[in-house]
Amino acid sequence: MTVIQPASLELPGGIGIGFSPAHLRRQFRAHTAAQLYDESAAPNTGFAIYTLSDPRDIRDVRYVGQTRSPRRRFLQHLNHAKLWLPDEIPWWIKQPKLRPLYTWVRGLYRDECRLPVMVITAWTASVGEARVIETACIFEHLARRRPLLNVEAEVARGQVPLL
């Protein structure tokens, strides 16, 4: 059995800044409680359409998604970035198409320990309706030239990453 030691304070090679996975997960839970905003003005039922943004400018959307459970999904995004591991190719990401998102989260954390902000923009009754609204939001942000990290953004730009 391998025991993961807390990362050192060296920022360039590692990202954990002395924190163990357990410490970071506690930090994530506190962060999601404080940095998840519902701007939809709709009842919290069904499926949420949400954005992830840099906390320095939440209007600069980097990712659009949909979920039935926003807080749990926000935690999943933070946990999947595995901030306690070094900055090498993120082999732990099972779907390579998601690497840009988690590389961005790691970059935010490397820069003064920031984590993204989640903003719920709409609630829908069905998963089909959620997918339609999510796709419309993605293309709306692309039209505004936002540097989205969604897979759909790469396809729309005609640049599907090979890594």
Element (H, E) at 65: strand 61-67
pLDDT the model gives residue 52 = 98
pLDDT of residue 93: 64
pTM greater than 0.85 (yes/no): no
Residue boundaries of the structural domains of the chain: 26-156
In this predicted structure, what is the pLDDT of residue 155?
Answer: 66
Q: Which residues 6+ apart lie within 8 Å of 21 measured at CB?
A: 4, 82, 84
**Which residue ranges of the chain lie beneath pLDDT 70?**
1-18, 89-96, 154-163
Residue 16's alpha-carbon distances to 29, 88, 100, 111, 113, in angstroms, are: 16, 13, 19, 12, 9
What pLDDT, in 10s, does the model give residues 70-89?
999 999 999 988 898 887 76
Q: What is the DSSP string of 91-127?
A: TT-SSGGGHHHHHHHHHHHHTTT---EEEEEEEESSH
Q: How far apart are CA 37 and CA 21, in angstroms?
A: 25
pLDDT of residue 156: 61
